[in-house]
Amino acid sequence: MLTGIVTFLIIFAVIGSILYGQKLIKTEKTDAVFGNPERAKGGVHWVILGSCFLLFLWLYYSWDIAKAFYPKSANELCQVAKVTESLLSLKYLFPIEERQHKSTAIIQRENVNINDKILAIQNAHKLETHDKERFVRLLNSTQQIIPLLTDEKYLQLETKNIISDLTNRIKRLTENFPKDTYPPALSDEAEKKRIEALQKQRGWGATGMEVPPLPETRVGLKFHTAAEELNKISDEFFSMRNHHPKYLRKVKAIIGEIKRYKSGLDDGQELEMTYIKEIKKLGQRIHYASIFPPSALDALEQSIRDFDKVQKQEQGAIRVRDILFFPGGTIVSSGPTCAEDGPGRWLPKPSDTFRIFGDLLKPSVGFKMIPMLWYEMMGVNKIVDFFLPDWVADILPGRYPVHTSYGKVEPNFKSRVLDIVTGNFEAFKIPVPTGHIWDSFLRVFLGLALGIIFGVPLGIFMGLNRFAKGFFDPLVELYRPVPPLAWAPLIITVFGIDNVGKVFLLFMVSFSIMIISARAGATGTQLSKIHAAHSLGASRWQILREVIFPNSLPEILTGVRVAAGMCWGTLVAAEFLAGTTGIGFVENVARKYMQYEVIWITIFVMGVLGLLFDITIRKIIDRTIPWRGKG
């Protein structure tokens, strides 16, 4: 419903934007030069057009438009798929979608196989001559059973009857199929059961199911019933064997000889065993194939052709919908499993995506029992415990209390301090953020912050001091070019899969970037500025703080921006590897369970968070270094 409205809105917006743009182009004074930068400014209407176009592609290719306007179409296509599937094995018997009759193809192939085998046997050095002769004779008699299958005069009456019965049933189906009375009404009880089952069936795209398999419409029921009947016909056909008693006798003789030969072999004659088994297999392949005389199935073929034509005609509107509204794939190709095959599967429908996103955002639902972004009340004592190390109490003078002879323990100052640093006290609670998104954010933030805190001073030091540059250069330059994720297994082993490992990995990423940018900033300080500061009476420390540091700020902040991007990318991949929270973890789990909606949601969330990070840093840059590029 909503999707339908949105689709119309999009179409209106697209048409409106194009018309408005056209009008604007006409009224704008025409600039004769190509490449006028004025044109690069674009226009809101083109932005609307672009966004709508994107949204439309999404709606269309995820088959959400099909779902909005023809909610039953997937189900109907599924029924068509059933018919197509049932016809398939029958059609393959004839040159309908193949080049040859199946019988022809089998005979051709088996003759080749047998001749190849004869050649192989004659060239086998390790076989005894009398074995060779026996094998060739067996193969020749195997080859000679084929004519017993293909000769009209060995086609038994019984077989002929079955074929004509099947042919008539298909003909009748062809006749009835287009009629309104097809399928015939079920018995009351059966109908009741059918409707009951239908009511239990959930709709298209409902959780855990892509396309509902039971027919929901009359047209669907028609195809469904026909498919069932065709399945029966096909089963009967393939269980029928064209085996004349003469043929059976001959086969029996061959099998008997093979058996006798095998029982005469001893354990050492593996080679002979292999050959005789292969010879037996060749015979079996012919035995179990459906081989019929050349024109024995002509009537059946015609009836199948006729039915195929009729069912294709009957598909009518369904087929048109399939072509128009199911781009890039189709449900029909999935056969009777009734699944979405194509972008409908891996490109989630906007409607589903937003619904699932809404669910994920609910703090009570979240993902794997952890909300995406929420808050929890945490006692101040826990926070104190986290930030104050326990040794603070240990290094205080004095001893911890000792129990008295009355069996009591009197707290003293030292033990009270210990209570505080271990968070062992009552305190009010404050809300702190939690959830997958927050965890990811916090990791990046901490990694980045540590990288800045340690990298900037070291970088500036390296930019000013030959020793520092030379001493730390090998260290930084050797670990920096290694892709961060290559470090991941090692670091995760050393620091654990939890936050410490990830934060350290991110610290490594940001540390090298910050060193390099701070160093570049410090090295880039104009000598005349340092000279000026010197003659104005600044000390070394003052020059460092008042001249070199602010002068390096543009580079440092650009470094922060780059590092933030790198950290973000690394984090998501690291969360993919290990861990139990974070947005990368969510995606990894969703990937395992093929929850395409969730995958796309995580991709979207990562994009937005990365963008927010970047925008924030860009804002900070604009705020703190407005002189950049203007000095």
Partner 1 sequence: MSDLVSQDLNMIFTSPKGEHVHALKDITFTLKKGELLTVLGPSGCGKTTLLNIAAGFLRPTSGKITLGNNEINGPGVERGMVFQQGALFEWLTVAENVNFGLRMKRVDPVKTAEKVEEWLDIVGLKGFGNTPTYQLSGGMQQRVALARCLINDPELILMDEPLGALDALTREKMQSLVLKIWKETGKTIILITHSVEEALLLGERVYVMAPRPGRIHTEYKLPFASMGLDGDLREIKNNKEFVTKREEILSMIWDMEEEIMGKEI
Residues found near partner 1 in the complex (CB under 8 A)? 526, 528-529, 531-539, 542, 546-547, 550-551, 553, 625-627, 630-631
Residue placing its CB nearer to partner 1 in the complex, 69 or 627: 627
Token representation of residue 501: 């490992």
Q: How many whole angstroms separate alpha carbon 606 and alpha carbon 573? A: 12
CB of 503 to partner 1, least distance (A): 32
Residue placing its CB nearer to partner 1 in the complex, 318 or 547: 547
Residue placing its CB nearer to partner 1 in the complex, 574 or 621: 621
- Cite the DSSP H helix spans in 480-526: 484-495, 499-523
Residue placing its CB nearer to partner 1 in the complex, 259 or 540: 540
Q: How many CB atoms lie within 10 A of CB 326?
A: 25
Residue placing its CB nearer to partner 1 in the complex, 355 or 534: 534
Phi, psi of 211 (to 5 degrees): -130, 130
Residue placing its CB nearer to partner 1 in the complex, 23 or 531: 531
Q: How many whole angstroms separate alpha carbon 517 and alpha carbon 519? A: 5
Q: How many whole angstroms separate alpha carbon 194 and alpha carbon 190? A: 6
Residue placing its CB nearer to partner 1 in the complex, 140 or 526: 526
Residue type, 131: D
Residue placing its CB nearer to partner 1 in the complex, 114 or 547: 547
| Cβ-based burial of 250 (10 A; exposed 0-12, middle 13-18, buried ≥19) | middle
Q: How many whole angstroms separate alpha carbon 159 and alpha carbon 163? A: 6
Q: At what angle do helices 157-176 and 218-239 cross, to 10 degrees?
A: 170
CB of 549 to partner 1, least distance (A): 10
CB of 534 to partner 1, least distance (A): 4
Phi, psi of 376 (to 5 degrees): -135, 155
CA angle 495, 505, 558 (to 5 degrees): 155
CB of 629 to partner 1, least distance (A): 9
Token representation of residue 209: 């199911």
Residue placing its CB nearer to partner 1 in the complex, 130 or 466: 466
DSSP summary character for residue 593: T
Give the burial string for 96-132 (b: 16+ CB within 10 Å, else e).
eeeeebbbeebbeebeebbeebbeebeeeeebeeebb
CB of 56 to partner 1, least distance (A): 46
CB of 557 to partner 1, least distance (A): 12
Q: How many whole angstroms separate alpha carbon 436 and alpha carbon 371? A: 7
CB of 560 to partner 1, least distance (A): 17
For residues 547 and 401, is the Cβ–Cβ distance under 8 A? no
Percent composition of the chain: helix, strand, coil (DSSP 3-state, to 5): 70, 0, 25
Residue placing its CB nearer to partner 1 in the complex, 530 or 573: 530
CB of 447 to partner 1, least distance (A): 28
Residue placing its CB nearer to partner 1 in the complex, 197 or 620: 620
CB of 492 to partner 1, least distance (A): 41
Q: Which residues lie across from 357 on neighbouring strands?
A: none
DSSP summary character for residue 370: B
DSSP summary character for residue 399: -
Residue placing its CB nearer to partner 1 in the complex, 21 or 550: 550
For residues 570 and 506, is the Cβ–Cβ distance under 8 A? yes
CB of 469 to partner 1, least distance (A): 17
Q: How many whole angstroms separate alpha carbon 617 and alpha carbon 627? A: 16
CB of 518 to partner 1, least distance (A): 16
CB of 2 to partner 1, least distance (A): 51
Closest by alpha carbon to 304, among 415, 509, 167, 157?
Answer: 167
Residue placing its CB nearer to partner 1 in the complex, 8 or 627: 627
Residue placing its CB nearer to partner 1 in the complex, 202 or 531: 531
Q: How many whole angstroms separate alpha carbon 30 and alpha carbon 42? A: 15
Q: How many whole angstroms separate alpha carbon 299 and alpha carbon 594? A: 47
Residue placing its CB nearer to partner 1 in the complex, 77 or 543: 543
Q: Is the dihedral of CA 280, 282, 285, 291 positive or negative?
A: negative
Side-chain-side CA neighbours of 465 within 13 Å: the count stands at 12
Q: How many whole angstroms separate alpha carbon 259 and alpha carbon 255? A: 6
Residue placing its CB nearer to partner 1 in the complex, 208 or 626: 626
Strand (E) or helix (H) holding 375: strand 374-379
Sole residue written with tokens 């086609």: 155
CB of 539 to partner 1, least distance (A): 7
DSSP summary character for residue 367: B
Residue type, 457: P
CB of 600 to partner 1, least distance (A): 44
For residues 600 and 608, is the Cβ–Cβ distance under 8 A? no
Phi, psi of 310 (to 5 degrees): -65, -45
CB of 623 to partner 1, least distance (A): 12
Phi, psi of 434 (to 5 degrees): -145, 180
CB of 621 to partner 1, least distance (A): 13
